[in-house]
């Protein structure tokens, strides 16, 4: 679900914002982070300003099964840390014989691996999360 660099950024953001517990669940995976408060209160005044990461979700345009980009469309596959531009094709949702494009809503970096081919999504379900480019 996450690569080590993503986990490190997530833990840093949790510490910077005073969050001690976080749980993320998907259909087949779960991640739970529990941090103990380690910093002395005087150290907090010396802490750097929190890093704010803005994210945006690419959502399913319809109900159907996911088909990754790069399978039969001539485009490169999408993976973790892939940089994309607004409007880029991230994958497809197949319904019957038709396909709907899952497009990047903003320019940014893909934060997780593409879902497995055949994964079922409903209208508006999050298919990808993007870290917004600044």
pLDDT in tens, 33-46: 777 655 555 555 56
Stretch 13-29: mean pLDDT: 75
Fold (topology level) of 55-132: OB fold (Dihydrolipoamide Acetyltransferase, E2P) (2.40.50)
Supply angle C-alpha 96, 121, 131, rounded to 5.
130
Q: In sequence order, what are the beta bridge partners of 24? A: 31
pLDDT in tens, 40-89: 555 555 656 666 778 899 999 999 999 999 888 899 998 888 999 999 99
DSSP state of 52: P
What pTM was computed for the model?
Answer: 0.61
Q: What is the pLDDT of residue 37?
A: 55
pLDDT in tens, 119-131: 999 999 999 999 9
Q: Which residues of the chain form CATH 2.40.50.100?
A: 55-132
For the chain, helix, strand, coil in percent to 5 are: 15, 35, 50
Please list, in sequence order, all residues whose beta carbon lies within 8 angstroms of the beta carbon of residue 7, skipping any fewer than 6 positions away. none
């Amino acid at each position: 679900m996450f690569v080590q660099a993503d986990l490190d950024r997530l833990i840093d953001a949790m510490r910077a914002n005073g969050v001690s517990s976080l749980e993320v669940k998907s259909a087949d995976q779960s991640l739970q982070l529990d941090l103990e408060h380690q910093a002395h209160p005087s150290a907090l005044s010396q802490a750097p300003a929190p890093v704010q990461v803005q994210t945006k979700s690419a959502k399913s345009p319809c109900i159907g099964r996911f088909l990754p980009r790069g399978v039969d469309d001539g485009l490169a596959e999408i993976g973790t840390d892939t940089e994309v531009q607004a409007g880029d094709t991230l994958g497809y949702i197949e319904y019957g014989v038709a396909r709907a494009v899952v497009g990047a809503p903003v320019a940014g970096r893909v934060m997780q691996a593409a879902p497995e081919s055949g994964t079922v999504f409903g209208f508006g379900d999050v298919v990808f999360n993007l870290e917004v480019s600044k």
